[in-house]
Amino acid sequence: MSPIDSILGIHGLVVQAVQRAQDIHVWARPRKRPVCPRCAGKRLRIKATHHRTLKHTRQGNQLMVLHLAVPKYHCTDCNRYFRHQFAGIRPRLRATEAYRLEVFEAHDGGVSQRKLTHTHRIGSATVERWYQSFMRQRVSELSGRSCPQVLGIDEHFFTRKKGYATTLVDLKNHKVFDVVLGRSEASLRSYLKRLPGKEHVRVIVMDLSETYRAIARQYFPNALIVADRFHVVRLVNQHFMKLWQQYDPEGRRNRGLLSLMRRHHWKLSAVQKERLHQYLAQSPVLQALYFAKQQLNGFLVLKAMKAKRASKLLPKFLALLRLFEQSPAKALAATLTSWLEPVVRMWRFSKSNGITEGFHTKMEMLSRRAYGFRNFENYRLRVLAQCGWNGVINRV
């Protein structure tokens, strides 16, 4: 291929003429005759030639217009007719795939439709149609996937009318696997029954939700349930804050003490520790609850631990839970005891649903950018295209 022919970036074309005016006009034809797509015969004759005019990328501020000669062949072996097919050019379209992809990436990057109508000389409806077309192409490339081995499940708010939606995330590859409307077993039943590859799921990370735990046990029989570390630590802190409110309502309103109480004790400076200890010395019960809470959080933040070390720490953790059962925080102890296995599995596992929460933030930004979604399928399409796609569009 000569350097002149390579300016188009389309394989199998020969440039015949180039004219520069307001736009760059390029006349091209096929380099050689193809074989018959039906019988693979080479005995072809040109019955007619059709001329197409297509928009093809931009060179600086100039639009490249491609004038293409499209032969219509007649195969003398099978007596069939067919037109010449070009890579990157679809039939009956007035723009090449490279040009459509250029518009899509610009609009996806934040360029408004109004701006694209001036720079690329197409209508705003055309921009929207091309954008939706590539979005559907992205999602179609994701179809046929089986469930990931490490799955994160969490809920997020969709609309007031339709309520909540459930997010399924591939925690190993940091991709959204799917988004399903609803968060109860009844609303998710039809989807989970036809979900392929449920038996391949090995680990499911979730918050302390009884509904999701029942769903995991019923539809993912080979998966181990792991509690999400963030939600467990937050639950412990919430219980402690309620107890603090009961023992000292005035101190609970102090914003300085509130900041010190919420943070891990090992992250405080020496001055902060001294100030906190002076306050706790006034209430022995609150002081005991605080240090017990810190000891419990010390167990909960452990991760990527070997089995031998975890087996040694387990008796100490169970002894601490028994102390909580005899304290005012017995409700917290009951919850942690009912979730004992998923909580202990956090020690061996390093992933968390922080990845899922990050995707929820991105979903909220997508919804704000679209000024809200009424149709859930459109919302799901946008989320999968933005958060569950590998970043490569296969050109036709």
Total domains in the chain come to 3
How many CA atoms does the CB half-sphere of 370 hold within 13 Å?
Answer: 18
DSSP string, 75-139: ETTTTEEEEPPBTTB-TT-SB-HHHHHHHHHHHHTT--HHHHHHHS---HHHHHHHHHHHHHHHH
* Whether residue 175 sits in one domain with residue 37: no
* Whether residue 356 sits in one domain with residue 323: no
CA separation, residue 36 to residues 33, 72, 76, 300 (Å): 9, 11, 10, 67
Distance separating alpha carbons of residues 315 and 299, to the nearest angstrom: 12
* Whether residue 11 sits in one domain with residue 47: yes
* Whether residue 191 sits in one domain with residue 86: no
Does 137 map to a domain?
A: no
Count of CB atoms within 10 A of residue 212's CB?
Answer: 20
Does 129 map to a domain?
A: no
* Whether residue 236 sits in one domain with residue 212: no
* DSSP element (H, E) containing 64: strand 62-75
pLDDT in tens, the chain (396 residues): 555 556 677 788 888 888 888 888 989 989 888 899 888 888 899 999 999 999 988 888 888 899 999 999 999 889 899 999 888 888 888 999 889 988 988 888 888 888 999 888 899 999 988 888 888 777 776 666 778 899 999 999 999 999 999 999 999 989 999 999 999 999 999 999 988 888 889 999 999 999 999 999 999 989 999 999 999 999 999 999 999 988 888 888 888 888 888 888 888 999 999 998 999 898 888 889 999 999 999 999 998 889 899 999 999 999 999 999 988 889 999 999 999 999 999 999 888 888 999 999 999 998 988 888 889 988 988 888 888 865 444 443
CA 277 to chain centre: 44
- CB-count exposure of residue 218 (10 Å: 0-12, 13-18, 19+): exposed
Does 104 map to a domain?
A: no
Residue 11's pLDDT is what? 80
* Residue matched to tokens 């195969």: 75
Token code pair at residue 326:
């005899």
Residue 5's pLDDT is what? 52
Distance separating alpha carbons of residues 393 and 80, to the nearest angstrom: 33
CATH number of 366's domain: 3.30.420.10
Q: In 3-23, which positions are buried (b, 16+ CB within 10 angstroms) versus exposed (e)?
A: eebeebebebbbbeeeeeeee
Does 52 map to a domain?
A: yes
Q: Which domain holds residue 233?
A: 229-347
